[in-house]
Structure formats: C-alpha cells, structure tokens
C-alpha cells in the first residue's frame, strides 16, 4: 500500500504553504490567498509521523465542559465566546496581573509542533499544533525563587458550557506541572492547529500541550496560571486518585487499574490497522527522562 503523504491528509492550501516553507528553508508560513494563516516556523521537536486529519482532530474530543461524549465538544463548543479573553497570572511571580490574550502571546515565537498525543483511554493521534514554549511566558512574568509548581485553571461559564451543569467535576477543570516540567521546551501553550486558530472544541483560544504525559494534563481554554510552592490539586487526581496520578507520564509498563497501557489505537488508522505499542514518555524519553532521575515512576504515576 502507498504511504500517505501530506497532500493526502492536509488541506490543500496548507500543504502548498508547507512546500513554500521547505523551499524557503524554514521561513515563516505565507498567508494563503483564501485563508489567513498563522505565521509559524517548524519546531525541532516535530515528529515526521503523518498527522491525523483536521476532521479527526476536531470531531473526536474530550472536553467535559461541553459533555462527556466524544462528539459533544464539536456539537456545543461553537457557542463559546473566546474574544475578549484574559488570563490571570498570579502567585509566586514578579509581575502578577490579568493579561489580555494578545499580551500573553506578545513576543513569543510561534512554532508548528507536530506532536504525538496519547490519551489515558489508550487512543492516540498526531497533531500539528501552533504554539510557543510555556517557559517563554513564565520567564516574561518572572518566576520567584520559591516557586516549585505551576497550576492551571480552565474557564467556568455554564451559560456557554452545557457540560458544567453536571457536577461530577468540581469546576474549574484544573491541572498542574512541576516547575521543571513547565519550563521544558517540549511544553507549549498552543493557540492553533493546522496553521489556523485553535478550534473551540480543541481548547480555544489557548491550551496547554505536554506531549510526554497523558492527554488529560493538556488543559484547554486556560484562564489562570498560578505559581506555587505546593503540588496543586488536579481534576482527575482529585476524582480518582488510584487511577490518575499527578505526574501522568505516558508509561507502557504502568497499567491503568482497568486497562493495559502497553498499546494504543491510532484514531483514524482504520479497522484493520491493529494497535501500536505505546512508547515510554510517548516517544519523548530522550528529551524528558532526565526530569525523573531518582523517581520511582510506578509510585509517582
């Protein structure tokens, strides 16, 4: 069977633009005539695995603020107002404040990061994000020396988020990282995918992406980032601590209590494609294993 190429899976204009990048030796994406493209240079961390299609990435989602079904986010997220948007940055920082989205992204170099994405439910995708390093923002606001963790909160707006009428999650959805994880160059704040603004069901206008951790760490629609000296409470860990740890590093050797994590189903790969092996740290072991030297990952799961 012929191997799929970018032109099979990519909207034509974007594919043409990618050819221009290659021709231009890594120059920023050109604005296509039909669609306003986000300017972004390719990331050194991108995988050369074939990305999932835009359709797959935007119609099979977890975003409980809109419901628990995989198609609820696509169905209901259209009503979400993402402009204006601001992010509170507080806690152990030099320059706390309420920052407009434009101010959060100001001066941060956007890159296209094609990352593997592995959900704790054992499905996976490859997603061409547009984003910038979280470290760039943290350095700009100035991290105080006592800070050890970064806590994130997502939007609470029940009138636009029908899933928030259900109380099974104590809203807001919360996540957190250790400071060294947050400062790692693989950790990004993403504002788009496939060269366009972030689709609402994928966490518009700004979300976290931590590609070596299970997808639930990658919190969507962020409104607050707090630097703290304590490990912060996180949504899935609070709900089911025996099943979801704080670290949630992708690890094929530590099974979920109810299913194996040794393999995964690549969304869209077809009924007969079979499962593929899950890689330690989702394939980013060379980059991130050093963060966990001396830690027992079966305990710190």
Binding site for ligand MTE (CB under 6 A): 61-65, 119, 154, 173, 202-203, 215-216, 218-221
* Residue 275 Cβ vs ligand MTE, minimum distance, rounded to whole Å: 17
- For residue 150, the minimal CB distance to ligand MTE (Å) is 15
Whether residue 144 contacts residue 94, with contact meaning beta carbons closer than 8 Å, is answered with: yes
The Cα–Cα gap between 246 and 238 comes to 9
Closest C-alpha to 244, from 229, 258, 230? 258
Q: Which is nearer to ligand MTE, 149 or 236 (CB)?
A: 236
Do residues 174 and 233 lie in contact, with contact meaning Cβ atoms separated by under 8 Å? yes
Closest CB to ligand MTE among residues 154, 250: 154
For residue 152, the minimal CB distance to ligand MTE (Å) is 9
List the structure tokens of 39.
């300017």
Helix or strand or coil: residue 77?
Answer: helix
Q: Tell me the C-alpha distance between 127 and 200, whole Å.
A: 15
Smallest separation, CB 217 to ligand MTE (Å): 7
CB closer to ligand MTE, 64 vs 115: 64
- The span from the CA of 228 to the CA of 217, in Å, is 17
- Nearer Cβ to ligand MTE, position 119 or 182? 119
Nearest to ligand MTE of 108, 221 (CB atom): 221
Closer by beta carbon to ligand MTE, 27 or else 239: 239
Q: Give the separation between CA 270 and CA 274, rounded to whole angstroms.
A: 8
* DSSP-derived 3-state class of residue 165: helix
Q: Which two tokens stand for residue 93?
A: 């920082």
143 vs 264, which CB is nearer to ligand MTE? 264
**C-beta of 1: minimal distance to ligand MTE in Å?**
27
Q: How far is the CB of 207 from ligand MTE (least distance, A)?
A: 7
Q: Which of 83, 72, 84, 114 is nearest to 209 (CA)?
A: 114
Please answer whether residues 90 and 224 qualify as being in contact, where contact means their C-beta atoms are separated by less than 8 angstroms.
yes
Q: In terms of DSSP bridges, do strands 188-193 and 174-178 run parallel, antiparallel, or are they unpaired? A: unpaired
Task: Find the shortest distance in angstroms from Cβ 300 to ligand MTE.
Answer: 20
Q: Which residue is nearest to ligand MTE (CB)?
A: 215
């Amino acid at each position: 069977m012929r191997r799929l190429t970018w032109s099979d899976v990519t909207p034509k204009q974007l594919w043409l633009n990618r050819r221009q990048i290659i021709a231009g030796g890594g120059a920023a994406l050109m604005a296509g005539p039909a669609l306003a493209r986000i300017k972004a240079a390719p990331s050194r961390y991108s995988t050369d695995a074939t990305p999932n299609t835009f359709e797959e990435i935007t119609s099979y989602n977890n975003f409980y603020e809109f419901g628990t079904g995989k198609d609820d986010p696509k169905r209901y997220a259209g009503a979400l107002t993402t402009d204006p948007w601001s992010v509170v940055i507080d806690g152990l920082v030099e320059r706390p404040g309420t920052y407009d989205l434009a101010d959060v992204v100001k001066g941060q170099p956007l890159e296209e990061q094609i990352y593997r994405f592995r959900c704790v439910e054992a499905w996976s995708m490859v997603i061409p994000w547009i984003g910038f390093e979280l470290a760039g923002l943290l350095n700009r606001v100035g991290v105080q020396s006592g800070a050890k963790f970064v806590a994130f909160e997502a939007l609470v707006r029940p009138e636009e988020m029908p899933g928030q009428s259900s109380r099974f999650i104590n809203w807001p959805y919360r996540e957190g990282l250790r400071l060294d994880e947050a400062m790692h160059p693989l950790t990004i704040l993403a504002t788009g995918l496939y060269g366009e603004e972030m689709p609402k069901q994928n966490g518009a206008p700004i979300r976290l992406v931590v590609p070596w951790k299970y997808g639930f760490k990658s919190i969507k629609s962020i409104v607050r980032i707090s630097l703290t000296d304590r490990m912060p409470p996180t949504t899935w860990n609070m709900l089911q601590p025996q099943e979801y740890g704080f670290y949630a590093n992708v690890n094929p050797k530590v099974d979920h209590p109810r299913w194996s994590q040794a393999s995964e189903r690549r969304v869209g790969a077809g009924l007969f494609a079979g499962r593929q092996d899950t890689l330690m740290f989702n394939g980013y072991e060379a980059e991130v294993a050093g963060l966990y030297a001396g830690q027992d990952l079966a305990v710190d799961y």
